[in-house]
Amino acid sequence: MNKDILLEIKNLHASVGEKEILKGVDLTIRRGEVHAVMGPNGAGKSTLGAVLAGRPDFTVTAGSICYAGQDLLALCPEERSWAGLFLSFQYPVEIPGVSITNFMKSAISARRKAQGLPELTPGEFLKLLKEKMAFVQMKGEFAKREVNVGFSGGEKKRNEIFQMAMLEPTLSILDETDSGLDVDALRIVAEGVNRLRTPETAAIVITHYQRLLEYIVPDVVHVLKDGRIVETGGRELVDRIEREGYESIHE
């Protein structure tokens, strides 16, 4: 096994209810790489992200996912998070009554406990919180707000990137992070993602449009159609999709 391989998906089939959505996905991602997964609506892009994060509504019916040498499918969602996997949601969920601060405090302390690290002191936690808020240009009162309640589309996505910065994932999956963003918010989000890029980490950028990929430049581009990856290439593939649409790309 290549030591640099972070994620290896083999022949992945996944269903929701009776409906098969992923019909044999193969995907290998090495550390340091950014992969774009593009494709038309309904191709299964979001399902791929959800299955990687362990969303219980999806059933994996065949195939395997090896992440950092572990069987990812054997882990529950929180264990995947502790192992460094992060999904930025296309539709971040509102959690009335829970403040951003409490949400992140629970997340960070659970992860540190799982990793056998001591709890952060309140001072250390506050310092981390402030540093990461500045990272996505969020103001002071942001930490007191209820998670995603009354947030604009841009604020929700910035909140996702804020959480990503807090959790410093090894594998980030950005599910349509560009949808509903104006150019300024898009730039903040993309800068956040780019600054989190390291030689040890990797990212999967799921998107319908090429717009986000002007800001987050991928190393590898995949086209997902009807539950399968039908084409893999470099950045030039993005331009071809932009020019010719998804219709032109076949198996």
Partner 1 sequence: MNSEVYVIGRDSVPQYLRLEAGEERTLTLIVPPGNGGRLVLEADLVGPGASLDLAGLYLCPGDERLDLRLLVRHTVGGCVSRQLFKGLVGGTARASFDGLVYVAQDAQKTQAYQENHTILLSETARVESRPQLEIYADDVQCSHGATTGYLNPEELFYLRSRGIPEAEARRLQMVAFLAPVLRRLPEPLIEEIHACLS
Q: What is the CA radius of gyration of the chain?
A: 18
Helix 100-114 with 122-135: angle, nearest 10 deg: 110
Question: By rule CB under 8 A, what string of x and - marks binding of each residue 93-122 to partner 1?
Answer: x-xxxx---xxx-xxx-xx--x--------
Nearest residue (CB) to partner 1, 43 versus 87: 87
Find out whether 128 and 121 touch, Cβ atoms under 8 Å: no
Among positions 31, 55, 145, 228, the unique one binding partner 1 when judged by CB under 8 A: 55
Q: Are 95 and 148 in contact (CB under 8 A)?
A: yes
Residue 71, SS3 per DSSP: strand
CB of 195 to partner 1, least distance (A): 20
Select 39 or 54, whichever has its Cβ closest to partner 1.
54
Count of residues touching partner 1 (by CB under 8 A): 31
Reported as type and span, the H/E element at residue 8 is strand 5-16
Report helix, strand and coil shares of the chain as percent, to nearest 5: 40, 30, 30
Q: Are 119 and 109 in contact (CB under 8 A)?
A: yes
217 in contact with partner 1 (CB under 8 A):
no
Instruction: Decide if residue 67 touches partner 1 (CB under 8 A).
Output: no
C-alpha distances out from residue 61 to 8, 47, 198, Å: 17, 13, 33
114: enclosing H helix or E strand:
helix 100-114
Supply the minimum distance, in Å, between the C-beta of residue 2 and partner 1: 28
Q: Give the one residue of 92, 153, 180, 233 binding partner 1; rule: CB under 8 A.
A: 92
Helices vs. strands in the chain: H and E counts, helices first: 7, 12
Give least dist CB 201 to partner 1, A.
Answer: 17
Nearer to partner 1 (CB atom), residue 160 or residue 231: 160
Q: What are phi and psi of 250, to 5 degrees?
A: -125, 170
Query: Minimum distance between the CB of residue 87 and partner 1, rounded to whole angstroms?
Result: 6
The one-letter code for the residue type at 91 is Y
- Is residue 128 at the binding interface for partner 1, with CB under 8 A as the rule? no
Does position 82 interact with partner 1 (CB under 8 A)? The reply is yes
Q: Which residue stretch of 63-71, 91-99, 133-141, 242-250 sits at the interface with partner 1 (rule: CB under 8 A)?
A: 91-99
Q: Is 78 a residue that touches partner 1 (CB under 8 A)?
A: yes
Where do contacts with partner 1 occur on this chain (CB under 8 A)? 53-57, 76-78, 80-82, 86-87, 89, 92-93, 95-98, 102-104, 106-108, 110-111, 114, 163, 167
